Amino acid sequence: MEFIETLLNGLSIGSTYAIIALGYTMVYGIAKMLNFAHGDVIMVGGYMIFLSLTSVGNPILGLLAAVLFCVLLGISIEKVAYKPLRGASPLAVLITAIGVSYLLQSTAQIIFGSAPKMVVVADFGNLTVGELTIPYYMLITLGCSVVIMLALSLFVKYTRTGRAMIAVSEDKGAAQLMGINVNAIITITFAIGSGLAAFAGFFMLMKSPSLSNTLGAMPGIKAFTAAVIGGIGSIPGAMVGGILMGVVEAISLTIPAIAPYTDAIEFLVLIVILLFRPSGILGKVRREKV
Amino acid sequence: MALLEVKDLEVYYGVIRALKGISFEVEKGEIVTLIGANGAGKTTTMQSVIGLIPARHGKVIFDGRDITKTPCHKIVHLGMSQVPEGRRVFQELTVYENLMMGAYSQKDNNSFKEDIDRIYERFPRLAERRNQIAGTLSGGEQQMLAMGRALMSHPKLLMLDEPSMGLSPILVDQVFEIIKDINRDGTTILLVEQNAGKSLAISDRAYVLETGDIVLSGTGAELAASDQVKKAYLGG
């Protein structure tokens, strides 16, 4: 029974990582850059939820406001910080992304102070089935994540824009020759990734109500790790990597001897997997034929 | 008025002047070829005309419109299409999905079904392999797919960059036959080739490009008979 609870906990943590990892992996696949400010968009989403809860008090409205704001934020970050650097060296883009990350954290600190805020999204209670006690927030996180991942997969596979995203990620030049506006596709990708970050912020606050300007830092790094484990650039890879990280984390936390080293163990998983599969679990090994 | 008019086109890669101000024209209904050795600037010309590489100086006029500063994706919507060097089909997509990408610029896609059937008719091999991942096709099949994909957008001008590269002699002949066919059906063709003999044979006119400059021009037959071309490109 306890194991099932642990597993469900792992799946819910993992699906949150997966939702964040999707943002990293899609942006990497399409813009070929690591958006290290992605984790901080989660934090901004968290503060939007906080503001909405204190003013309106409705968590669903809070989530919607956070999604909307993060989408606009993501688009603006791309326009202002990254777009002028298209064609610049990857190092310049990387340092800019780190700069944006600090900018977001510092701005949040100036506006909201450095003391963590308590953000109780709602008290959802527990579901009890026989001896099994499952907090509802876990089921909500899991359910929402599954729907999001399914919708995203269908979107990419079956819509005109989704297919254009695949084309751009594979060959920007050839995509342009099809008449695809690559800049527009990059903007859409940032919008989707940032919207997902807002969902992740909501899931995280449901699980633990403490909100500070570094809310997104650690989950951001772990989700990035998840994206690399799954194979950066691969959408199913981000999902698999995220879930794997979450389950490892949940299991490790229940074993007293290794619980304090949980973070280290998660990164160890990365190292081990990369030793055997350098491009990640579902990473692309390019086949080429002449 | 020419369908495509290129005037004094200059392109730089950093400080290197890759195109030194070339001018040429393609009339509606023609097959025009640019021949030249490796590094002469043929691919640069093709990419610059369609807006993938910016021009430093000069003008590109397509169908009466100045497109020198127009981004590539908009030029495609105006009716120019290109089969790039090395085919560059989308390796992870199926044949069918690749053709779908080719129709991306067609906003109201009423004719999609007919278009794709027309492509399958022209390239029966693609019909057989419609659900196969493009990356697993042979080189010849990928070339057919790249051509089919480029035709899905109903181009007024189809540009082909080294379509015969890396293909077996039988396939090379087949590719040139198909190019003639496409032209006969009303599509203007701008071709870039290292295979000067075969391409001159199907061309109305041709230009010889050498280190970023056009050094010779004339009808396909004239150039094929010219001593200079014979010596440099036709093996004596």
| Interface predicted TM-score of the whole assembly (ipTM), two decimals | 0.94
Q: What percent of chain A has pLDDT over 90?
A: 91
Disruptive mutation site among B67, B76, B77, B101 for chain A (greatest number of A CBs within 10 Å): B101
Contact (Cβ atoms closer than 8 angstroms) between residue A77 and residue A12: no
Q: Is A111 on the interface with B (CB under 8 A)?
A: no
Q: A289–B166: do the CB atoms touch at under 8 Å?
A: no
Instruction: State which of B102, B123, B154 marks the end of a domain.
Output: B154
Contact (Cβ atoms closer than 8 angstroms) between residue B149 and residue B142: no
Same domain, B146 and B192: no
Phi-psi region of A63 (alpha: psi -120 to 50; beta: other; left: phi over 0): alpha
Give the nearest partner residue to B72 out of A160, A163, A177, using CB atoms. Answer: A177
Q: Is A163 on the interface with B (CB under 8 A)?
A: yes
Same domain, B58 and B124: no
Quote the distance between the C-alpha of residue A166 and its chain's center: 19
Note the pLDDT tens digit of each residue in B125-150: 999 999 999 999 999 999 999 999 99
Task: Grade residue B234 by pLDDT with cuts at 50, 70 and 90.
Answer: confident
Q: B104–A176: do the CB atoms touch at under 8 Å?
A: no
Judged by average pLDDT, the poorest of A68-77, A116-125, A180-189, A266-275 is A116-125
Instruction: State which of B107, B123, B154 marks the end of a domain.
Output: B154
Residue whose C-alpha is closest to residue A264's, from A216, A196, A218, A195: A218
Same domain, B169 and B223: yes
Give the pLDDT confidence score for residue A214 in this predicted structure.
96
Instruction: State which of B100, B123, B154 marks the end of a domain.
Output: B154
Give the nearest partner residue to B73 out of A160, A180, A286, using CB atoms. Answer: A180
**Total domains, chain B:** 2
Same domain, B62 and B98: no
Same domain, B144 and B173: no
Give the pLDDT confidence score for residue A2 in this predicted structure.
86
* Distance separating alpha carbons of residues A289 and A157, to the nearest angstrom: 24
| B155 contact residues in A (CB cutoff 8 A) | none
Task: Grade residue B209 by pLDDT with cuts at 50, 70 and 90.
Answer: very high
* Distance separating alpha carbons of residues A5 and B208, to the nearest angstrom: 74
Same domain, B189 and B220: yes
Same domain, B166 and B212: yes
Q: How far is CA A215 from CA A99, A122, A148, A247, A264, in A?
A: 17, 19, 22, 20, 19
Same domain, B73 and B161: yes
Question: What is residue B70's DSSP assignment?
Answer: -
Mean pLDDT calculated for residue range A210-219 = 96
